[in-house]
Amino acid sequence: MAPGVGPLPAALGPDAAADRSGGRPGAAADDCVDVVAALEPMLGAIPARSVVGIRAGLRLFEWTAFPWRFSRADLAARQDFLRSMEGAQAGWRRDLTLMLKVLSGLAYGNDPRVQRAVGYEARCAVNGSPAAAPAPAASAPADDAAPLGDLEPAGLGEECDYVIVGSGAGGAVAATVLAEAGHEVIVLEAGPYMDRRSYPEEPLAALRALYRDGGLTVASGRPAIPTPVGRAVGGTTVINSGTCFRAPERILDHWVREHGIEWAGHLDPDYAQGEEMLDVKAVDPARMGRNGQLLMEGAEALGVSHGPLRRNAGDCTQCSSCPNGCRLDAKRAMHVSYLPRAATAGARVRAGVEARRVIFDGSRATGVDCLAGGGGSSGVRARRFTVRARRGVVLAGGAFGTPELLLRSGFRSPSDELGRNLHIHPACWVGARFDEEVRGWDGVMQSYAVDEWEDRGVLLEATFTPLAFGGQWLPGTGIEHQERLLAFGNVASTGVHLSDRSSGRVRLGGDGALRVSYRLTREDGARLAFGIARAAELLYAAGAREVYPQISGIGVLPKARIAELESSPPPRPALRLEAFHPMGTARMSADPRRGVSGTDGAVHGAEALHVADASLLPSSIGVNPMMTIIAFASRVSRQIAERAS
């Protein structure tokens, strides 16, 4: 997959014992990138079912070249075979090639020698200089080495007024409100605590440490859509882009009319409070970097609506490490904003504690059974750990974790809506190569938006993806791909985000593990193609030489073929999508027949059990949902506190 071109090192061949040089003439084994060794630790962090699928795919790929085996062929034959597979008529052949390309690309782009050859460097800066991170809140625990206090679960269990499962945008806000109202609060987080002093430097290590399933949580369907979520103290806010939107008025009005959430039309104070807490500011177009500026210039050339994004990173002017944790903690994720405030009010945060079952006494939730202290590479076996809650349980594990926990606990929603109504904002990375140097990593990762087509559910955001995650999306294989990779500094990229009418479901498999499925409708597939076409027009208007649409079988989209793409959308399985905003799986509704939770967050059919996370959102929101999660969690937790008093 990577024979080595110019300063780029070769990857070790598929049979390392027989081909220690990767097939590149004159290359020594020590000069090559061992992608297999780099991937092995990551595979240990993903679900066993996914590992089985990857192994089966690799075996199929190995023998697709029958009567000879891919790993036994010489370099030239392997390259010819890869080229034929990527351009094959059969979609399964292209999908196999993409799987191999993504896996090898993750490991290859993770290597410092590759990054040096490309000129890539992950850095963060505030006001143009790599300043120190913001100090913890003045009233936070004094020990800067432990800004949230003792994170270790004590003994075999603890007791509190409210136990909150999850420490992301919903759980951290709920913890703050309830603790400041005088309640004894414990926050449970399955992942570890990390901050600017301990985030992994390497992207692959960050996937293992900070993401659920090693970043390979996938919504199955045609196409399958990777939907990564965080698994760390602070939840997904630790690894997201930091983009802050308020929900569009039409969405809030819909929730008032269709779901009886009267207060959804009066969220301005909640939004404002969250924005002040997180130091939300608009990105400065003059300092956001060329990636955002090129989208801006394309929008100006076409005369469409556009503007800078607002982020929870104050005066950040450079951020290329967001998916691995902000190296300055300038991004005000929950572990450096709300959670220190909650800890000041007395909340206890427990890291490395996986909630396994909600404890019920009849219909009343009285606590959570957990596993604590295990996992990872420590070899330590997890122990049972129980938290008893005198007043109630608040679920904030996200749109995957909350229904997963309730289903595992044997709870059945009267509406039968639990786990249903999953929306994810399916998205597509559209890249473009320019004559000029872009160096997207020198600017703000997600910086600028075009909202001209919001009425069609399409939002375009200038988003530059780090090398290890974005390099494999460049078209071509072998030498052709490596030549494009060398020009990564001339690549700009834009995300096409869809406010989806399609939906999916969260279930448990026969082994008790999470299963996520999603059915992309024909209409949504056409709207994504429309969005890709608009992104291509914008990038060409800004001066792009070629555009990469992420559609199987179309490596490069010429300007002359944009209209054809729109008039004849590709088959849905040909779309190469990702998603980052799961929501809706414990939908809020005043009508118990239509939702899982009431307008106070209380779970229909249960007592002393509430939800305060993205799973509450009744429908697709169409924009990055973090601020709306915060607003909803604030409303729900205030109602809990008022009722308790």
* CATH number (domain holding residue 590): 3.50.50.60
For residue 18, tell me if it sits in a domain: no
Note the pLDDT of residue 544: 98
**Considering 87, 109, 131, which residue would you say is the last residue of a domain?**
109
Please, which pLDDT band fits residue 425 given cuts at 50, 70 and 90? very high
Please, which pLDDT band fits residue 21 given cuts at 50, 70 and 90? very low
List strands edge to edge, sheet with 458-463. 306-308, 446-450, 458-463, 491-498, 427-433, 546-548
> Which one is catalytic: 335, 581, 604, 610?
581
Strand spans (E) along 520-583: 546-548
Q: Is 22 a residue whose pLDDT tops 80?
A: no
For residue 233, tell me if it sits in a domain: yes
**Considering 529, 545, 576, which residue would you say is the last residue of a domain?**
576
Mean of the pLDDT values across residues 14-37? 62
Q: Is 13 a residue whose pLDDT tops 70?
A: no
Any idea what DSSP says for residue 415? T
* Residue 478 and residue 449 share a domain: yes
Q: Is 327 a residue whose pLDDT tops 70?
A: yes
* Residue 400 and residue 307 share a domain: no
Please, which pLDDT band fits residue 14 given cuts at 50, 70 and 90? low
Mean of the pLDDT values across residues 341-360? 97
343 vs 30, more confident = 343
> Domain span at residue 491?
283-311+427-499+521-576
Torsion region of 416: left, alpha or beta (phi above 0 gives left; psi -120 to 50 gives alpha): left
Would you say the pTM of this structure is higher than 0.75? yes
608 to 88, 261, 362, 400: CA distances (angstroms): 56, 20, 11, 21
Q: Is 132 a residue whose pLDDT tops 50?
A: no
* Residue 558 and residue 610 share a domain: no
Note the pLDDT of residue 16: 46
Note the pLDDT of residue 190: 97
Note the pLDDT of residue 154: 83
* Residue 202 and residue 98 share a domain: no
Note the pLDDT of residue 20: 42
* Residue 404 and residue 348 share a domain: yes
Q: Is 464 a residue whose pLDDT tops 50?
A: yes
* Contacts of 204 by beta carbon, 8 Å cutoff, 6+ apart: 38, 39, 41, 42, 106, 107, 110, 468
For residue 127, tell me if it sits in a domain: no
pLDDT in tens, 38-61: 888 888 888 888 899 999 998 999
* Residue 306 and residue 329 share a domain: no
Note the pLDDT of residue 321: 86
**Considering 576, 593, 617, which residue would you say is the last residue of a domain?**
576
For residue 6, tell me if it sits in a domain: no
Residue 420 tokens read as: 């249903």
Q: Report which secondary-structure segment, H or E, holds 399.
A: helix 398-408
Q: Are 271 and 204 in contact (CB under 8 A)?
A: no
For residue 253, tell me if it sits in a domain: yes
497 in active site: no
Note the pLDDT of residue 133: 40
Mean pLDDT, the chain, integer: 92
The structural domain count of the chain equals 3
* Residue 603 and residue 632 share a domain: yes
* Residue 334 and residue 474 share a domain: no
Q: Is 634 a residue whose pLDDT tops 90?
A: yes
For residue 3, tell me if it sits in a domain: no
* Residue 404 and residue 269 share a domain: yes
For residue 14, tell me if it sits in a domain: no
Q: What percentage of the chain exceeds 90 in pLDDT?
A: 77
Q: Is 598 a residue whose pLDDT tops 60?
A: yes
* Residue 370 and residue 480 share a domain: no
Domain CATH for 297: 3.30.410
Picking from 138-147, 432-441, 555-564, which range would have the lowest pLDDT averaged per residue? 138-147
For residue 64, tell me if it sits in a domain: yes
* Residue 348 and residue 301 share a domain: no
Q: Could you tell me which of 474, 475, 485 has the C-alpha nearest to residue 3?
A: 485
* Residue 335 and residue 232 share a domain: yes
